[in-house]
Structure 1
């Protein structure tokens, strides 16, 4: 086989592999969304206990300190709190991740503020096809341009609030800059960082490392407590999630 033929063959193998990965990601997202729908239906139709378990909390006060790590993960914890550890693997483009934010974000923040858990956010990219791939990469690399912890979490929350459909282009650079400034970002280098997608390569590398390590076996969101995957029925039920975290601290 000649060199040209080998190169064509290699490109075809890479293309086939990427298509397979995209299909696997689609199946994982579908499974997660279905699980979320089941939880919602259970909450609606399962009686008083499920309604109480599914009721979202409201924020009770100031957040725990938020520290941006060198690898791109973000820690929210009071000084000295090292366990239990709640790892949240999420994609800003993922509808199920948006639902997790709506259901359980306040619980996570309240418990971190009370010194009951150390929370670690892991923004990653699970989409392999456009326009969702471009959407999530623009958003996640822009989040890396925010260097202040409080501003980062405000920007993080805004991204989920403004999440576009998977089938439409969204998270435009103009919007990302605007939302960052509205989240309180005053760093003069923020806008150029966002518009130049300065952190895209670092974000892609981080995301690949997470996926290669199989830390998100069912797609996003994946919530791990002290390394063990938390079932979606618990993760999306604020009362159940709270009790599970309290039990882990015993």
Structure 2
């Protein structure tokens, strides 16, 4: 065999191998769009799948303290003055997809809540802690509980996502979580009480209880949105306009 033919065959084999490797990488990468924001997430989405298919919800934690207004069986923190419709949001503060949803739809949710057109119930979860090897989701959820007590639920929620670390797995420090309270408008004695609550990790068991509720409600990944108990489809959240229209229709507007 001539050197030129051998070289051609080697190049062809190398090209095939490269193409196959590229296809394998493509299959391992989960691509999804939320309101036109395309996110490339591996740990976030795969973590959600592993939580539902390979892991059982953790046993009830020793610390079962709950923030004001949070109760079984859903263990969600309600926001807004509306009584209906009710939008349940299951999320993990370390979830990149949840941050993408917040970036794209957070302003719409805030507007609907402010106008009394929807009641939002946030269910903070912590399943990504196991995937990422930290306890950041748990601590962020616990600090969120302190914000619920302080009456800055929505503001604190939005600030946490706005400051989600760019590198997945880095997580939030306790100092960051406390600083978010001040950014949410807390000061003086209110801020002192909030900081003490965060330091004491008062609501450390809350996200585990949320995990259990999510499992019972058939949540298979985050973010998961349920409107009046029915899970919203991809079509329902295909755009900010479609999402808002779905909420307003449920509100009879």
Say whether 1:220 aligns with 2:217: no
Q: Which of 1 and 2 has greater Rg? A: 2
RMSD of aligned C-alpha atoms? 2.5
Aligned partner of 1:191 in structure 2 is 195
Kept in 1, the 8 Å contact 2:35–2:105? The answer is no
TM-score normalised to the size of structure 2?
0.66
Aligned partner of 1:76 in structure 2 is 79
SS at match of 2:89: strand
Consecutive unaligned residues in structure 1, runs of 5 or more: 1-29, 42-66
Aligned partner of 2:251 in structure 1 is 249
Shift of residue 104, structure 1, vs aligned partner: 1.1
Cα-to-partner distance string for 1:179-236 (whole Å, 9 max, x where unaligned)? 21222234223223212322112332x223223314422x110111111111234335
Kept in 1, the 8 Å contact 2:76–2:210? The answer is no
Kept in 1, the 8 Å contact 2:37–2:100? The answer is no
Cα-to-partner distance string for 1:67-116 (whole Å, 9 max, x where unaligned)? 952335222223xx322211111111111111111111111221222232
Say whether 1:91 aligns with 2:92: yes
2:239 and 2:177 mapped to 1: Cα distance? 30
1:189 and 1:143 mapped to 2: Cα distance? 13
Say whether 1:126 aligns with 2:123: no
Aligned partner of 2:113 in structure 1 is 112
Kept in 2, the 8 Å contact 1:91–1:97? The answer is yes
1:173 and 1:229 mapped to 2: Cα distance? 33
Structure 2 matches for 1:10-21, cutoff 5 A?
none
Distance 1:240 1:133, change over 3 A: farther
Aligned partner of 1:202 in structure 2 is 206
TM-score normalised to the size of structure 1?
0.66
The number of equivalent residue pairs is 189
Aligned partner of 2:33 in structure 1 is 36
